[in-house]
Structure 1
């Protein structure tokens, strides 16, 4: 996330109650991008995966501004492979069959198997397609949509070269907090990128 702490104040207590009712042990990791680069959703998910406890057997890649309104929505262990909690019809802006985002549950071993997500998606636009293409192999405020230089060309095809093994970042600060009973680790994160190959960042 980036500067979304107001949403976090609503998100944390909601999920504390929601997941306790499902008898889930959980910990919330907030990966806050604090550099001056364009937002990189995928890299933040990777940082969250790398910095989270290895004791957890699956992760929820979760937008902080998305709350499930139906109490029947389950955050269960994704036994069969990645499980998309937020279906397209629940996300009116992204109502198309290939939409995959918002809330995605993934087993740690599956995330490692596909080397995480491509971290070439700076700004907003192609991450959804990248996630869909990546996990297909496991399982037979205002958004920045600016395109410049050769970004569309570079980000058009599935990226098999970047991911867990290539993301570059540093943790500026780490804070352990509790919000209305919800255990949270806030990681203020500085991402790095190659400005020669990605001048639009």
Structure 2
């Protein structure tokens, strides 16, 4: 319980702290760069149902969580992500679904619009309580970074290896973040107007605060991520208006 002060300082309710230590979670994890085939993933994780749905078979799930992944041309990274994330979500005793929302064509990437679409489509499939918006190239390094939604919107990817495990700036809400259904609706989702890299997460930070919420974070030693290396995507140039 040495990290309890970090949770309380971050605005995490004590019940949420206790849950994170009562699960089957391990703590600090090794991450894997392998990209198994989808057939191999099916064999490795027999609890995963068609459509990327999973839940524990021997207990009542603690949360109903949709993982929304904006995506284009990252197939190898996607398989690496699935290889790492499924056992984490299973140990966290979640009723979860992973939704990969792919943008076709060669136009500039619109991450925010894809996440809005993912939210709308996931709600047609299951009554999710919580939505985690997740870049496909980020792998959690600690499974006590619980994929749920606290009483305030949460920025989850606090410490990323690419940024030397430090926040690039305080008002960041990109990478991995979680909101409840009610929070997402109150802020009116992500802004659709940002084509290209950057801008939408900063806009979302402002929407969250304008709606009367505050962004919370777990301690850096828990909210750690490794970024999967990938080539430069020519269709995702920086947004000059960000």
Q: Which runs of 5+ in 2 are unaligned?
A: 1-70, 215-230
Q: After TM superposition, list the pairs within 5 Å mapping 1:44-193 onto structure 2.
A: 44-52=114-122, 53-76=125-148, 78-87=149-158, 92=163, 95-136=168-209, 137-140=211-214, 141-142=231-232, 143-145=236-238, 147=240, 152=241
Give how far 1:13 is off. Answer: 2.4
Deviations 1:55-112 (A, max 9, x none): 1111100001001111221112x23121111115665186111111111111111111
RMSD: 1.9
Give, in whole Å, the separation in 2 of the partners of 1:11 and 1:37: 25
Equivalences for residues 32-47 of structure 1 within 5 A: 32-47=102-117
Q: Which runs of 5+ in 1 are unaligned?
A: 156-201
Runs of 4+ in 1 over 3 A off after TM superposition: 88-91
Aligned partners of 1:83 and 1:26: how far apart in 2? Answer: 18
**TM-score, normalised on structure 1?**
0.67
2:178 match: secondary structure = strand
Q: CA deviation at 1:138?
A: 4.2
Shift in Å, 1:14: 1.4
TM-score by length of 2: 0.57
User: What is the total number of aligned residue pairs between the two structures?
Assistant: 148
Output the CA distance in 2 between the equivalents of 1:99 and 1:48: 21
Cα deviation 1:99-127 (Å, max 9, x = unaligned): 11111111111111111111000001212
Bigger relative contact order, structure 1 or 2 (CA pairs below 8 A, ≥6 apart): 1
